[in-house]
Amino acid sequence: MNILHIDSAITGDASVSRKLTADIVAKLTAANPEASVTYRDLNEGVPAIDTDWFAAVRMAPENPTPEQQRLIDISDAYLAEVQAADVLVIGLPVYNFTLPAQVKNWLDQIARAGKSFRYTAEGPEGLLKGNRAIIAYSAAGTPMGSEFDHASGYLRFMLGFLGITDVDFVAADRLAMDREAGLARAQEALENLAA
């Protein structure tokens, strides 16, 4: 089993989502001692896509410039990590009712026509089939699945678009209202999670 462990919280050691992703990975590796883990901290910076990225990555020039090749290599590295993973463990802290910008940037880097999805006569088809994702959702005041939770549904949709439809959530939400209850709900979900 290859595990891709992704964190994104800006709060360092105080992060609930970082603790949850670590606990999820620990559970998976305890059940699968031969598992390998690749760690990626998106808080260290994920380049946003822009015109230069489009010209390099999406347009795929036959003879890319050194700068274009650098942009291609960055995007390829993010995508290769996902393609190699059997399980993605993704920290999803909610900021201002949605996912962190660095998670959006990461999704933009890996959502690549012909590589992670393709267009067919029946519509788009995800090419990352067979992968599982476990999302560690944390929010101070946004209940997961509520009308103002614009993080969990979007991430589930994007993963599904890429072919990853086996998605579980371990949610510690409403922490500002009742931290202990939110952490207890997450612990219960973690204990019930299939490893």
Question: 89 falls in which pLDDT band (50, 70, 90)?
Answer: very high
Task: Quick: pLDDT tens for 66-77.
Answer: 999 999 999 999
Task: Quick: pLDDT tens for 44-68.
Answer: 999 999 999 999 999 999 999 999 9
Q: Enter the pTM of the model.
A: 0.95
Q: Which residues contact 114 (CB under 8 A, 6 or more apart)?
A: none
Nearest to 165 by CA among 115, 119, 124, 129: 129
* pLDDT score for 195: 80
Across the chain, the runs of DSSP E, i.e. the strands, are 2-7, 36-41, 87-93, 117-120, 123-126, 132-138, 166-172
* pLDDT score for 37: 98
* pLDDT score for 194: 86
Residues making up the annotated binding site for FMN are 15-17
Question: 33 falls in which pLDDT band (50, 70, 90)?
Answer: very high
Residues making up the annotated binding site are 15-17
Question: How far is the C-alpha of 42 from the C-alpha of 171, rounded, in Å?
Answer: 20
Task: Quick: pLDDT tens for 132-186.
Answer: 999 999 999 999 999 999 999 999 999 999 999 999 999 999 999 999 999 999 9
CATH number assigned to the domain comprising residue 66: 3.40.50.360
Find tokens 């993704």 and name the residue.
90
* pLDDT score for 1: 95
Q: What percent of the chain has pLDDT above 90?
A: 97
What average pLDDT does range 5-29 have in this prediction?
Answer: 97
* pLDDT score for 57: 96
* pLDDT score for 155: 98
* pLDDT score for 56: 97
* pLDDT score for 138: 97
Provide the domain count of the chain. 1
What average pLDDT does range 66-90 have in this prediction?
Answer: 98
* pLDDT score for 4: 98
Domain span at residue 171 reads: 2-192
State yes or no: pLDDT of 25 exceeds 90.
yes
CA distances from 195 to 43, 91, 174 (A): 27, 17, 26
